[in-house]
Chains A and B, each alone.
Chain A
Amino acid sequence: MTGELSWYESTARQRLAGLLDQDSFVEFIGPEQRETSPHLPLFDLPAQFDDGMIVGRARLQATHVLVAAQEGRFMGGAFGEVHGAKLTGLLRAARDIGSMPVVILFDTGGVRLQEANAGELAIAEIMRALLEARLAGVPVVGLIGGRAGCYGGGGLIAGCCSALAVSEQGRISVSGPEVIETNRGVEEFDSKDRALVWRTMGGKHRRLIGGAELFADDSMASFRAAAVSLLKNAPPFTAKTLEAEQARLEERIARFGRCEDAVNIWTTLGVPDALSVPAMPYADFVALADRLETSHHDAR
């Protein structure tokens, strides 16, 4: 338990150091460029030199990759103008280069309120750039396992990726727990019931329901192996893919649409003791998820 820091606890820079081949990372628009948010000072808020988004190129098990990593502890990892523009630029470069896949380390609560318009535009531009890259044959994979999770516009972007890996601590959704409770009432969703939050949006559930392809342990080594695997098995992006996705989503809602809770979904999936899933150790859960998976798909 001592030694290396966990993925969850690490900063974005520490994750990149743990994920990529040693000394292979070259940063684009690094902190020394001081491309900071033009909006935050207006609110008397401190800026960060990289605006919470690190982009660059590196090698991952000797493969050349483009990488982006969000700092979840700065402004909740939320998208702002510069933050978003860096990721847009990276994805457009990926499209133009064509031969380098992209790995995105998500850790975001969505769009920064202080930069709402710029942030929302950025989400849209990123989604477009991501899909153009995929159309050009570039795999774009996402890794999710940080404190902020992957919410709001981040969740939408993740949904556009070729494939995703998520850890137990990771969460993927669009609306956050508090927003759901405010809009639908505490009976519908008690945001303080953290076990419920993780059952609904957390990594294990996403893996079981097909919202992520791989389940990673909360460690650098595990995410590294997951990233390598996702890149190796990334599916092509064609009309056939989209049609299969549509079919899978229709089947999914037909099968689980009446379930009250994730536990019911897991039982329907064929998990022998659904209540034991949250406490299940990593290796056992991976084996279970692999066993239950009916067919490979590019849909989440």
Chain B
Amino acid sequence: MEQLNYRHIALSRAKGSRLQAVVGVVASGDLEVLVERTLPDGECEVDIRTPITGFGDVWRAVVADFVQLRSPGGLKLSVNDGGARPDMVSLRLAQAVRAVAGDRV
């Protein structure tokens, strides 16, 4: 198992008032994202546990793009990865932000 952790500055606070949400399932090709509103508004952290090692570069790029696109300020996102592809990761991270905003996912 590999553990990766990325901290970013976010441009704006993630919308909504919910304090936590969880999306996805740890299944082959999928991932679970637990999102908690526990950080200061301008910060974001993504913590990843994955059984597929050696893809740090890809995770880093995916997370960086996610932060830039979705403005997840104040959020800590914890990921349990079941071997998902980058596009599925982007999707679940975006769904997590939507879920903690209180929107229907």
Contacts and interface: CB of A to CB of B under 8 A. Distances in A.
Contact of B25 (A41, A47, A74): A74
Interface string B44-67: 000001110000000000000000
B36 A46 contact: no
> By DSSP majority rule, is chain B's interface helix, strand, loop, or mixed?
strand
A278 interface: no
A193 B32 CA distance: 34
Chain A interface residue bracket vs B:
10 to 19
Interface residues of B, number: 17
B20 A49 contact: no
B1 A48 contact: no
A261 to B, nearest CB: 34
Contacts of A44: 1, 51
A46 B50 contact: yes
A228 to B, nearest CB: 24
A182 B48 CA distance: 39
A213 to B, nearest CB: 29
A31 B80 CA distance: 11
Contact of A32 (B25, B34, B49, B81): B34
A222 B34 CA distance: 30
Contact of B26 (A13, A30, A47): A47
Interface string A29-51: 01110000000010011111110
Interface string A70-100: 0101100000000000000000000000000
B85 to A, nearest CB: 15
B41 interface: no
A264 B24 CA distance: 43
B22 interface: yes
B1 A11 contact: no
A74 B24 CA distance: 10
A45 B51 contact: yes
Given A32-B36, A44-B51, A73 B1 contact: no
Interface of B: 1, 20, 22, 25-27, 30, 32, 34, 36, 49-51, 78, 80-82
